[in-house]
Amino acid sequence: MQPPTECRWYFLPQSEWPDDEVVAIGADLEPDTVLYAYAHGMFPMYVDKKSRTLGWWSPLERGVIPLDGFRTTRSLRSSAQQFVCTVNVAFVRVMQECATARTDGNWINQEFIDAYTHLHQLGHAHSVEVWNKKGELVGGLYGIRINGLFAGESMFHRETDASKVALMHLVDLMNLDGMKLLDTQWNTDHLASLGCMSVTRADYLALLATAIEP
């Protein structure tokens, strides 16, 4: 797809962004707004959930997983044999599970579920599902794709290693499709154990520009 170059809202150019993780406040979650934001290095999340004040975030240190650097251990490969992975089979359920599984000030409410479901229906948002042998949904992740970029939003697990298996499956699919950039927003100890690294905002924006080229 052609990355969005215009938006109904005015966002400061990247050269004028504040030295802060929140670079804009307001706007909406319409598809063109959200896609424009991702294509320009931002993602939406509430600044204040109670008032539903929408912020557009661009971390000063961005988490990315190099597609040739995902750490797949023997035990993880063994765990993967206990699950079945699918893509875009249960997008809404994955979002709902991510919403209920988070314990760190969850921001995924119905407004976000509706907005990203609309993006999914338009072919821009995707999910990876992990099912156990009983046919139960036990893990998954979702995010936005723009050409060679996959911007991961959230993931969950109900059984050991299920979210890791979802991420491993995503990396395999991205490599098969010749994609370039897996964005995790922030780095964490958990993600770092899988090969995630932190890059500066400037370096991320350079990687992004290359990844979203048609």
State what percent of residues in the chain have pLDDT above 70. 98
Q: Is residue 123 part of a domain?
A: yes
pLDDT digits over 126-162, tens only? 999 999 999 999 999 999 999 999 999 999 999 999 9
How many CA atoms within 13 Å lie on the side-chain side of 132?
A: 11
For residue 14, how many other CB atoms are within 10 A of its CB? 14
Q: Is residue 25 part of a domain?
A: no
Our count of domains for the chain comes to: 1
Q: How far from each other are the two terminal CA atoms of the chain, in whole angstroms?
A: 6
CATH code of the domain containing 183: 3.40.630.70
- Find the domain containing 151 and state its range: 62-199
Q: Is residue 205 part of a domain?
A: no
Q: Which amino acid is at 50?
A: K
Q: Is residue 79 part of a domain?
A: yes
Q: Is residue 144 part of a domain?
A: yes
Q: Is residue 190 part of a domain?
A: yes
pLDDT digits over 161-214, tens only? 999 999 999 999 999 999 999 999 999 999 999 999 999 999 999 999 999 998
Q: Which amino acid is at 108?
A: I
CA–CA dist 185, 177 (Å, integer): 22
Structure tokens at 127: 């999910």
Q: Is residue 208 part of a domain?
A: no
CA–CA dist 56, 47 (Å, integer): 9
Q: Is residue 209 part of a domain?
A: no
CA–CA dist 103, 111 (Å, integer): 19
